């Protein structure tokens, strides 16, 4: 095979996808929309808006690509995969119906309840009065979520009832998230450790890819505001064999079955955000795409067969495809702009990219960068994800931080405790 693959998106996750695909013996050429300066080293970048469904589909047709791999959720929710499939272009990523798994938390919860997929109790409400009842019924700590896509800002977890009520009112009275907050989910609070699990599916069969843990808070010790993710590592040593069985079989395989039973032909990634509770794994949320920055630790661990498996999913027939991860570990640390996730300046020159990439086992993924006068500059909140591979989490962590230490830009901020606890727990998991 000498596949021509189009990667949709321009962040760190899409750089990791393009980087892996460009090294896949089954891939002849990688294209990207819009890509970024890092992706440009692996792929031919075309400046298009990924949510401009018609324009992206036109490009895929014109270029005669064999496979489109959609990175972010927004184009999926906008129906990019539906349009591409309608034009006969094999596409990895669910259609609009499947993207509801991420696009409507209430729909995803209801699916879990109908098909016995383990998750916490919850109430979907559309009025403050019903919301207050749900807060009292489910008790503190309170968990209040906007139903739709809210760029990670739609979730409030709090002991403070007044804060919870304010979150309800923000959504239902003040329209803080527009349509996305017209329905609100009040959830039972779940205690435990969090893990992200990723599986590929063709709509019937499920192939486990791997697990990772990401770090959502901005500052060391899980302090500070929520972000898109400040780092990640894989594998996850605290997931034992029983939990892994419950996750692959009880959650992900069952979710694929549930989707099929609902008439949804889901061809893409199932990403479950899980809490490992004393009673076993429970779904916190689903996403319909790879995690960012989880992809930056999974892609470097893939041995072979990614393109073939993604294409098989896209064609709706996984057969007996498998994707193997290496036995080692990978850690990624995000270098963010000063002020992120709040207001931040961009346009600062980035030094040390080559020195960092020269460290054995290190890969520097671009997340928010741009080229200006031939120079790579910062162009977003999350600027780079610096990944390190090693035999153990501890070694991978050393490589990532050693590479990160070569990189400088004005205001650069990163966490210094990514994977520290997991490294101390030892082993490759």
Chain contacts with ligand GLY (rule: CB under 6 A): 214, 229, 287, 291-292, 294
Under a CB-based contact definition with an 8 Å cutoff, are residues 159 and 132 in contact?
no
Is 164 an interacting residue with respect to ligand AMP (CB under 6 A)? no
Peptide bond into 391 cis (omega under 30): no
Is 172 a binder of ligand AMP (CB under 6 A)?
A: no
Does position 285 interact with ligand AMP (CB under 6 A)? The reply is yes
Q: Give dist(CA 400, CA 318) in Å, integer.
A: 34
When the beta carbons of 13 and 216 are compared against ligand AMP, the nearer one is 216
Percentage helix, strand, coil, to 5, in the chain? Answer: 35, 30, 35
Which C-beta is closer to ligand AMP: that of 133 or that of 338?
Answer: 133
In this structure, the number of other CB atoms found within 10 A of the CB of residue 86 comes to 11
Q: In angstroms, rounded to a whole number, what is the distance separating the alpha carbons of residues 27 and 19?
A: 11
SS3 211: strand
18 vs 15: CA distance, rounded Å: 5
CB nearer ligand AMP, residue 284 or residue 334: 284
Residue 291, binding choice from ligand GLY, ligand AMP, none, Cβ under 5 to 8 Å by partner class = ligand GLY
Q: Could you tell me if 148 and 103 are in contact, meaning their C-beta atoms sit under 8 angstroms apart?
A: yes
Q: Which is nearer to ligand GLY, 229 or 381 (CB)?
A: 229
Residue 338: C-alpha distances to residues 84, 153, 248, 413, 423 (Å): 39, 19, 38, 6, 27
CB of 203 to ligand AMP, least distance (A): 24
**Does 284 help bind ligand AMP (rule: CB under 6 A)?**
yes
Under the binding rule (CB under 6 A), the answer on residue 294 touching ligand AMP is no
Number of residues that bind ligand AMP (CB under 6 A): 13
289 in contact with ligand AMP (CB under 6 A): no
Does residue number 123 form part of the binding site for ligand AMP (CB under 6 A)?
A: no
Distances in Å between the Cα of 402 and the Cα atoms of 123, 301, 349, 352, 426 are 46, 19, 20, 12, 19
Print burial letters for 211-234: b (CB count within 10 Å at least 16), e (below 16). Answer: bbbbbbbbeeeeeeeebbbbbbbb
Residue 209 Cβ, how far from ligand GLY at the closest point, in Å? Answer: 14
Whole-number minimum distance, CB 10 to ligand AMP, in Å? Answer: 22
Q: What is the CA radius of gyration of the chain?
A: 21
- Residue from 187, 202, 292, 294 touching ligand AMP (CB under 6 A): that is 187
By a kind-dependent CB cut-off of 5 to 8 A, residue 308 interacts, out of ligand AMP, ligand GLY, none, with none
Q: Any residues with CB less than 8 A from the CB of 357 and at least 6 apart, and which?
A: 363, 364, 403
Q: Does residue number 73 form part of the binding site for ligand AMP (CB under 6 A)? A: no
Minimum Å gap between C-beta 286 and ligand AMP is 9
> Among ligand AMP, ligand GLY, none, what binds residue 287 when CB lies within 5 to 8 Å by partner kind?
ligand GLY
Site string for ligand AMP, 382-411 (x = CB under 6 A): ------------------------------
Contact 56, 7 (CB under 8 A): no
Site for ligand AMP in 130-159 (CB under 6 A): 143, 145, 155, 157
The partner in contact with residue 169, picked from ligand GLY, ligand AMP, none with C-beta cut-offs of 5 to 8 angstroms by kind, is: none
Q: Where are the beta strands (DSSP E) in 109-204?
A: 122-125, 142-146, 155-158, 184-187, 193-201
Residue nearest to ligand AMP (CB): 285
Residues lying near ligand AMP in the complex (CB under 6 A): 120, 143, 145, 155, 157, 187, 189-190, 194, 216, 273, 284-285
């Amino acid at each position: 095979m000498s596949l021509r693959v189009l990667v949709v998106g321009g962040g760190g996750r899409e750089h990791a996808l393009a980087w892996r695909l460009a090294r896949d013996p089954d891939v002849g050429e990688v294209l990207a929309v819009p890509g970024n300066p890092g992706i440009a080293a692996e792929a031919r970048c075309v400046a298009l808006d990924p949510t401009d469904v018609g324009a992206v589909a036109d490009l895929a047709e014109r270029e005669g690509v064999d496979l489109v791999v959609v990175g972010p959720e927004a184009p999926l929710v906008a129906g990019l995969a539906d349009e591409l499939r309608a034009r006969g272009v094999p596409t990895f990523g669910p259609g609009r119906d499947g993207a509801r798994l991420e696009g409507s938390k209430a729909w995803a919860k209801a699916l879990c309840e109908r098909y016995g997929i383990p998750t916490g109790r919850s109430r979907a409400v559309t009025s403050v009065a019903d919301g207050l009842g749900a807060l009292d019924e489910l008790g503190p700590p309170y968990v209040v979520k906007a139903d739709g896509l809210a760029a990670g800002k739609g979730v409030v977890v709090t002991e403070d009832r007044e804060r919870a009520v304010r979150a309800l009112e923000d959504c239902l009275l003040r329209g803080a998230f527009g349509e996305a907050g017209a329905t609100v989910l009040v959830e039972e609070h779940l205690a435990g450790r969090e893990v992200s699990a990723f599986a590929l599916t063709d709509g019937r069969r499920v192939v486990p890819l791997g697990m990772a843990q990401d770090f959502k808070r901005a500052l060391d010790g899980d302090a500070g505001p929520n972000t898109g993710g400040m780092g990640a590592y894989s594998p996850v040593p605290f997931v034992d064999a029983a939990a892994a069985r419950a996750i692959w079989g009880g959650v992900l395989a069952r979710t694929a079955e549930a989707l099929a039973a609902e008439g949804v032909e889901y061809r893409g990634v199932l990403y479950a955000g899980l809490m490992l509770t004393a009673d076993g794994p429970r779904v916190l949320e689903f996403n319909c795409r790879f995690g960012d920055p989880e992809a930056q630790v999974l892609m470097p661990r893939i041995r072979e067969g990614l393109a073939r498996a993604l294409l098989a999913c896209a064609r709706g027939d996984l057969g007996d495809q498998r994707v193997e991860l290496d036995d080692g570990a990978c850690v990624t640390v995000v270098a963010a702009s000063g002020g992120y996730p709040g207001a931040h300046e961009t346009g600062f020159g980035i030094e040390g990219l080559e020195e960092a990439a020269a460290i054995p086992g290190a890969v520097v993924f671009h997340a928010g960068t741009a080229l200006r006068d031939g120079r790579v500059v910062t162009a977003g909140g999350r600027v780079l994800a610096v990944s390190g591979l090693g035999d153990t989490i501890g070694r991978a962590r050393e490589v990532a931080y050693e590479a990160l230490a070569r990189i400088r830009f004005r205001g650069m901020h990163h966490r210094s405790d990514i994977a520290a606890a997991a490294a101390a727990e030892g082993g490759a998991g």
